[in-house]
Structure 1
Amino acid sequence: MATAPSKPEKMSRHPHSVQQFLLRHGRSEENNETSFINCSTTENQLCLNFTDGTSVTISSWKDECVSVNYSTRSNPDRLKLSFDFQDAHGYGGPLMNDRSVWPLRLNGFYKRRYMQIESDSNYRHYSQAVLEPYWLFSNGYYAYLYVDNNVYTYISSDSEDRFELTVENYGMFGRYPPLALNFALCKLNDAREAHEHAVSHFLGKPSRLPGTREVIQPVWTTLYSPYKLDDPVNQSTMINLAEKIIENGYGGKLVIGHKWEKYSGSFEPDTSQFPDFSELIKKLKNLNFTLALLVHPFVSESVELSEQEMGYLVQTNSWYGQFPGFTSIYDSGSYIDFKNPDALKWLQKRLMHHRRIYDIDSFQFESGFNKRVLWNTSISNQVENLIQENTNMLDSLHVNIVTNVARGTQKYGFYLKMPLSDITSSDAYSSAILMRTVIPRLLHMNILGYSFTMPMIIGVSELIMSSEIFIRWVQLNVFMPSMQFSIHRPPWYFGEKVANLTKKFVDLHAHYSPYIIQLMKENVKTGAPVNPPIWWISPNDSVALGCRAGMDSSKGDNGQSVCEEEFLLGDRILVAPVIEEGQRKRDVYLPAGFWRDGNSKRTFNGPIWVKDYPADLDTLPYFLRFWPDALPTGTYVIPSQTAGII
């Protein structure tokens, strides 16, 4: 079904392997006669014409890649093509809120629209806040899809190792463009080389470093979950919280979240909760906190706007003309029309005004786009461009930005919030399940080119959680770029023992923060992920690459999955946190290389399984890679400002 030609630069010499690669688009091969036609005299382009009216043009593009145009003349409504993993493992693609697995295990979803959808009460189960048309495979292949916003593009899967891309056109937005699937297919020696090639040619890398205080010290947020908006946060509780943070030996960044405004998008403080907002900011600044405000790309219907300002909002098309298109998120509002340059300037001016008068250090942008605003509006087929326009405007502010949507925006030096997974109940078991999704999502975001991750809030506020799960979650985040706590469940919420353990691991994160910052700088320079999967340092290791059902070699005796329960910080630290409640030991897989236990200082020569590693609640298993030939003492010193950290 999907065997690519061995020599793409001489595609026409291998017509049968080309034919096999392309050909499952929902019909049996025996009813699908094919004719081969050379499209050029240079032997680097091939055409395949099918009797059903579909055709394929394959052109060599660089030595490692081919570009494929798959189109139809006879069926203007639908075109479908399958990708088969075969014996490979897949990574990447849209980050779906109910598919937190690594590598990809796709079986069982039908026709997910390739569109930017953020979680809300109506469309939670279809959330895709981080969206990239990039799929990487363990055998060194990768595919990059050129998405046409003028037609519907769907992703579906009916088996664990295959997904289908479908484009449909039923007069979407009143237009009937020709249907085509255009993508690049590239083959490198292994998955790491393939990803580095994709970064160079498709994904790109950040142009600058974000602020680094979020790395050195924790982030404290008043943000509510999407399902619980009624906890009181006011001026006195904010000041009490800040003083309590200092009292417990912390500092860092405070995010003033939902309901600081009277109405979303009003930029007017809610005086019923914050009677003197300027005084609040002054007191928090005197305690040496950096401050962020939560802002939205929409304006509540309760905000009074001038006629000119109303023109800056997305318009809904109707028989009666156009009117502002409202979303159901929070207190209902209309999205700002980012395709309108004047609207962008209007929002930029408002943000800069509030930054100046309140001495705000950064903004956290939430609720990028959802399904409700995309249909039948003035921006219906421009979502990708709108996200990029909005992101470009935020970049021009020259302040630290955190956002929760991403699509083709790798070049911006922003923190990207890890999307919340789909947890439908609020029992204690749900918090344990949610914690298990963090590593797969971290790896997924890094492979899509977003390494400046802001992991989920430790102890998400609406879930019932044991003290054990809380401390394991703290450990889980130590070697990620940032540690983020909710004011609704701070470390001292669970008592003195948990508070002391939390401080121990926050201090461990701070100890390694210079190395994390150096990796972030390297990400700007080369695009290398900050938190790669463990196959990054051993790209031909079947255990590190695998972990799909039935592949027992990728699991230890205690059932740990290498892929979903281990990750790297750079190429020098392997982290194997415990993420099962009640567990006090675990097996750890170490790829090829020399490793030193970060706790006991024992050394290991990989590849090796470390069986029954003891991991009480005060222990986070992690291992440091070293080179004994270069340093006979078994120590390893990272150069420049991180010297002495490892």
Structure 2
Amino acid sequence: IPFLIGMKNGLPYGLFFDNSYKSHFDLGKENSNYYFYSAVQGNLDYYVIGGKDLKEVVSNYTYLTGRVPLPQKWTLGYQQSRWSYSVSQKEVQQIADKLRENDLPCDVIHLDIDYMDGYRVFTWRKDNYQDPKKFVQKMRKEGFRIMPIIDPGVKLDKNYPIYQEGIKKGYFVKNPDGSVYVNKVWPGDAVYPDFGRKEVRDWWAKNVKYLVDIGTCGVWNDMNEPASFNGALPDDIAFSDGKQRSTHAKMHNVYGHNMDKATYEGLKKYSGKRPYVITRAAYAGTQKYSTVWTGDNQSLWGHLQMLIPQMCNLGMSGFAFAGTDIGGFGADTTSELLIRWLEAAIFSPLLRNHASVGTRAQEPWSFGQPTLEIYRKYLKLRYHLISYLYDNFYQETKTGLPIMRPLVLNFPKDRKVRTLNDEFMVGDDLLVAPVVTEGQTERAVYLPKGDWLDFWTGSEYAGNTSILVKAGLDKLPLFIEKNTILPWDESSNHIDPKKNDVITFRLFGDHGNYIHYQDDGEDFAYQNGQFNLYKITISQKNTVELTNFGYNCPYKKVVLLSENGRQEFIFDQKNKTYKLV
């Protein structure tokens, strides 16, 4: 994502270098008087992006490259993964049972490469899965969705229909001499679809129907840099750039982008729902089609410390929907590292625990108590705030601003936050200061201007200062700006978009206002006006104004929680207003 944000003389700017060739940024190393950008080939094609503040720069950049569309609401739930539960139906069922037995909210279980028949894409093994469709339906009834992985590498197998069709129609990338290029990935010898061509993307989208028909909830695109085992793909391999012949050197950085676009279009066409795509490789603008995770990290404290700057940089680069592998993918995690990772990631839009084969188990119950109890505490906090995260996504579709963001985005004039990379904001309201160092049980937290409340105790602090906070293993330092209203969802073990009868709001302070968004959480009906906007205003005199702007299916009951107790409002269908009970 060749996008740079800076400030000069107190004025913000963005520079977007739209060149897919391998490029290089030198931010003052060669000479402190200038930055230096170069690319190995291609045109000098760049945009200077202005704005009155950093938020406006990000908003203008995402106006240019695209914004994350509203996701399905359940995608904001917790997701459990490992390479590889997917070896057998029995193991997936055991994981699902354990999650429910331990009262752990979860919406998605991911299947890594072993669910496939010999790693052939768009197949499902039949030895350890008697009936994949029936099994996926069973999981859905239990509140779990199944998310399968797909790689671009197509197994070289003359008896394999996907390979046969691709060869017949000339859909795979070629050597300079015109022969089909072959490398190795998980299935062994494999060929690569030429996703730069629309007809190839359409073909791939058609194949996605196989997974939609089984009932899976989306597609997890992996290995789509494209990766290879038998040496890197040479620069001169023939790829396509639209209808023009091109090379791997130019198309490498947009290969994942084009695969993600094809996957998105297939899911949209054949499911009718908002597509859920996760990708490992992306380019500027991929956020229109896919969420992203930060790749195969390790179970290291240093990698946990990278989480905050990684996520904040992705957010300011257009990728509002992103996440990391909680606990670390490679190597062996520890109880302390797992908990601190979950605390740091609990507000990241993509919330997934994922680990590699051969590493120690890192499911929440793997370390016994108190790890399990703390893990449960934070998953339940997450599920209380699903509607808050969803509201932030609604705002993001209008502004392009990320959900998880650096303090400098909200407080650009505060010099103390310009290089602060161990705290972050969730929207405009929550300040999160995770512990990311082994053995640490207290930490300094910088609070910017304003009045802040400790989320857990209600203690009040003035801003523009640093405070020392106790932070035992079960304590995530979390602060909320005083006089804030937040939606507060009921406890649940999974997200049911159809459960739309009651909504609760919590007031932190003595007055506030809030805009809340509601739709069916699944399809595209909202684009035709089928959504509600609620404006909630609570004055210092404890008078409440509750207004609904929208279509005909509002909440039947709205509950407000504050220091003054509980108030309930019932919707009067005749007068289209809410009345205090």
TM-score by length of 1: 0.66
Structure 1 spans left out of the alignment, 5+ residues: 1-130, 170-178, 225-230, 424-429, 547-562
Residue pair 1:530, 1:570 contacting (<8 A) in 2 also: yes
SS at match of 2:149: strand
Matches within 5 A, 1:354-373: 354-356=211-213, 358-370=214-226, 372-373=232-233
Matches within 5 A, 1:548-587: 563-587=420-444
Residue pair 1:335, 1:373 contacting (<8 A) in 2 also: no
Is residue 2:454 matched to residue 1:593? no
- Which of 191, 195, 201 is residue 338 of structure 1 equivalent to? 195
Q: CA deviation at 1:383?
A: 4.2
Matches within 5 A, 1:7-46: none
Higher Rg of the two aligned structures: 1
Give distance in 2, aligned partners of 1:592 and 1:402: 37
1:368 is aligned with what amino acid?
Answer: N
Provide, for residues 176-219 of structure 1, a one-character-per-residue CA deviation record: whole Å limited to 9, x for no partner: xxx7534333554443343333333x33323x31122121x311
Residue pair 2:3, 2:317 contacting (<8 A) in 1 also: no
Is residue 2:342 matched to residue 1:474? yes
> What residue number does 1:192 align with?
55
TM-score by length of 2: 0.73
Distance of aligned partners of 1:633 and 1:259 in 2 relative to their CA distance in 1, 3 Å threshold: closer
> What residue number does 1:622 align with?
478
1:613 is aligned with what amino acid?
Answer: V
Q: CA deviation at 1:535?
A: 1.6
Matches within 5 A, 1:99-498: 131-137=1-7, 139-149=10-20, 153-156=23-26, 158=29, 163-168=35-40, 181-186=44-49, 188-200=51-63, 202-206=64-68, 208-215=69-76, 217-223=77-83, 233-249=87-103, 250-302=105-157, 304-305=160-161, 307-310=164-167, 311-319=169-177, 321-328=178-185, 331-356=188-213, 358-370=214-226, 372-373=232-233, 375-379=235-239, 380=248, 381-383=250-252, 386-396=255-265, 397-398=267-268, 399-410=275-286, 412=288, 414-421=290-297, 423=298, 431-453=300-322, 455-486=323-354, 488-498=361-371
Distance of aligned partners of 1:411 and 1:240 in 2 relative to their CA distance in 1, 3 Å threshold: closer
Provide, for residues 267-325 of structure 1, a one-character-per-residue CA deviation record: whole Å limited to 9, x for no partner: 22223443443443243233221111111222123473565422444333245x42234
Task: Report the identity percentage.
Answer: 18
Give distance in 2, aligned partners of 1:522 and 1:167: 35
Provide, for residues 230-276 of structure 1, a one-character-per-residue CA deviation record: whole Å limited to 9, x for no partner: x8832211111111111111331111112111233432222344344
SS at match of 1:479: coil
Distance of aligned partners of 1:159 and 1:502 in 2 relative to their CA distance in 1, 3 Å threshold: farther
Give distance in 2, aligned partners of 1:331 and 1:525: 45
Residue pair 1:591, 1:608 contacting (<8 A) in 2 also: yes
> What residue number does 1:513 align with?
386
Distance of aligned partners of 1:221 and 1:199 in 2 relative to their CA distance in 1, 3 Å threshold: same
SS at match of 1:470: helix
Distance of aligned partners of 1:410 and 1:570 in 2 relative to their CA distance in 1, 3 Å threshold: farther
Distance of aligned partners of 1:482 and 1:197 in 2 relative to their CA distance in 1, 3 Å threshold: closer
Is residue 2:400 matched to residue 1:527? yes
Greater CA deviation, 491-500 or 394-403?
A: 394-403
2:37 is aligned with what amino acid?
Answer: L
Distance of aligned partners of 1:619 and 1:332 in 2 relative to their CA distance in 1, 3 Å threshold: farther
Residue pair 2:435, 2:476 contacting (<8 A) in 1 also: yes
SS at match of 1:267: coil
Q: CA RMSD in A?
A: 2.9
Is residue 2:355 matched to residue 1:501? no
Give distance in 1, aligned partners of 2:292 and 2:19: 25
Q: CA deviation at 1:344?
A: 2.1
Give distance in 2, aligned partners of 1:336 and 1:265: 14
Provide, for residues 113-148 of structure 1, a one-character-per-residue CA deviation record: whole Å limited to 9, x for no partner: xxxxxxxxxxxxxxxxxx233443364343434444
Residue pair 2:347, 2:426 contacting (<8 A) in 1 also: yes
Give distance in 2, aligned partners of 1:360 and 1:180: 41
